Amino acid sequence: MISCEQQNVWSQQPTGWSTLAIGMDKNHNVLVIFSQQSYSVHDLIEILLSLPISIYNAMYLEGGPQASLYLSTKNSTIERYGGWEDSPDSHNSLRLWWPIPNVIGIVRK
Instruction: Answer yes or no: is 2 within a domain.
Output: no
Instruction: Answer yes or no: is 103 within a domain.
Output: no
Instruction: Answer yes or no: is 64 within a domain.
Output: yes
d(CA 71, CA 69): 7
Q: What is the pTM of this model?
A: 0.81
Q: What is the predicted pLDDT for the residue at 83?
A: 84
Instruction: Answer yes or no: is 31 within a domain.
Output: yes
How are the residues of the chain apportioned to helix, strand and coil, as percentages rounded to the nearest 5? 15, 35, 50
Once rounded to an integer, what is the mean pLDDT over residues 68-72?
Answer: 85
> Is the predicted pLDDT of residue 106 greater than 90, yes or no?
no
pLDDT digits (tens, 9 = 90+) for 33-66: 999 999 999 999 999 999 999 999 999 999 988 8
- Between 99 and 49, residue with greater pLDDT: 49
**Does residue 33 contact residue 41 with C-beta atoms inside 8 Å?**
no
Largest CA distance in the chain: 44
Instruction: Answer yes or no: is 104 within a domain.
Output: no
The number of domains in the chain is 1
* Residue-number span of the structural domain to which 62 is assigned: 17-93
d(CA 82, CA 98): 9
